[in-house]
């Protein structure tokens, strides 16, 4: 069930405008960056690269497993935050709920000028993705929030435009594609239909959630995704993901470093 076409387009237009609205601070140099990264394996190469140290008393609620690394790099205050290990099962706290809570708390505590959600993702070869490719998402949407009621259906998809970075893209020659987010690593037929409707090149478990919170609190967000597995390929997703995780994390590390180097000394409007 869908809302009338004109109303649907109006809602989509309003969502896009809200997500990309300029801030009064756009003309001052970026000072503080927060990387939101779901898995420690993805985060540690960057922690080492930027010579960050772990915060032994992070500014988060007591008892949560969230981890913060921080330090200075060139003229930037860098923070990498991870949701940490599940307190019962000991695995990385992946997914939209952990990343939403962590992004909200980090924005409140650290007052960043920019959020960068860096992580691995599945890619679609039909859309031109290959193992090790690094994408900046142009848009993010959910594929597993199905609410078949007029206008609520658009809310469920939650389409948002990521913060535009035309100069960064041109300088670094990074790939661009749309991102679809859900809380499952695999892809059911109904999810596949939604991902196709989202026109996604990559799929992950955090990006659209980070984009939602960033939009809500008016902090620009860049969504950086490196492809570990080909979703429409012939290998099992979990097997391919684990096989390629370490190597692709290195590619993600390289791209993230290039991005930080490019941002150094620039304002948001120059990105």
Query: Would strands 67-73 and 76-82 be described as parallel, antiparallel, or unpaired?
Result: antiparallel
CA 146 – CA 191 distance, rounded (Å): 10
**Which CATH number does the domain housing residue 9 bear?**
3.40.50.1580
List, in sequence order, every beta strand (DSSP E) within 46-131: 53-54, 67-73, 76-82, 114-123
pLDDT score recorded for residue 186: 87
SS3 content of the chain, % helix, strand, coil (to 5): 40, 25, 35
- pLDDT tens track for 41-80: 899 999 999 999 999 999 999 999 999 999 999 999 999 9
Is residue 185 included in any domain, yes or no? yes
21 occurs within a structural domain: no
Residue 5 pLDDT: 40
Strands 114-123 and 67-73: unpaired
- Greatest pairwise CA separation for the chain in angstroms: 53
Determine the Cα–Cα distance for residues 122 and 70; give it in Å rounded to an integer. Answer: 28
CB 158 within 8 A of CB 210: no
Regarding pTM above 0.85, the answer is yes
Residue 231 within a domain: yes
Residues of the chain short of pLDDT 70, as ranges, are: 1-25
Which stretch of DSSP H or E encloses residue 223? strand 221-230
In a domain, 220, yes or no: yes
The total domain count for the chain is 1
Residues with a catalytic annotation lie at 42, 229
Tokens of 49: 């690269």
Question: What is the domain extent for residue 264?
Answer: 5-16+26-270
Q: How far apart are CA 81 and CA 79, in angstroms?
A: 6
Neighbouring C-beta atoms of residue 59, cutoff 10 Å:
12
pLDDT of residue 236: 82
User: Residue 25: what pLDDT?
Assistant: 54
CA distances from 196 to 7, 126, 190, 191 (A): 22, 11, 10, 9
Question: Do the domain assignments include residue 110?
Answer: yes
Calculate the average pLDDT of the chain: 90
């Amino acid at each position: 069930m869908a809302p009338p076409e004109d109303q649907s387009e109006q809602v989509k237009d309003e969502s896009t405008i809200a997500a990309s609205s300029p801030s009064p601070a756009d003309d001052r140099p970026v000072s503080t960056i927060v990387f939101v990264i779901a898995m420690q394996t993805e985060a540690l190469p960057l922690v080492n690269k930027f010579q960050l140290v772990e915060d032994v008393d992070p500014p988060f609620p007591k008892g949560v497993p969230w981890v913060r690394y921080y330090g200075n790099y060139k003229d930037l205050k860098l923070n990498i935050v991870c949701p940490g290990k599940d307190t019962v099962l000991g695995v990385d706290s992946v997914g939209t709920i952990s990343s939403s809570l962590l992004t909200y708390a980090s924005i409140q505590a650290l007052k960043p000028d920019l959020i960068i959600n860096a992580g691995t993702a599945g890619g679609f070869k039909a859309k031109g993705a290959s193992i090790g490719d690094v994408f900046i998402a142009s848009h993010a949407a959910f594929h597993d929030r199905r609410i078949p009621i007029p206008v609520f259906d658009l809310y469920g998809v939650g389409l948002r435009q990521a913060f535009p970075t035309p100069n960064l893209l041109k300088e670094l020659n990074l790939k661009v594609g749309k991102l679809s987010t859900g809380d499952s690593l695999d892809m059911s037929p109904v999810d596949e239909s939604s991902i196709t409707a989202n026109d996604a090149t990559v799929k992950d478990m955090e990006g659209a959630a980070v984009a939602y919170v960033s939009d809500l609190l008016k902090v620009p967000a860049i969504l950086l995704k490196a492809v570990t597995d080909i979703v429409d390929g012939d290998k099992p997703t979990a097997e391919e993901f684990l096989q390629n995780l370490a190597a692709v994390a290195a590619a993600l590390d390289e791209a993230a470093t290039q991005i930080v180097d490019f941002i150094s000394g620039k304002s948001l409007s120059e990105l």
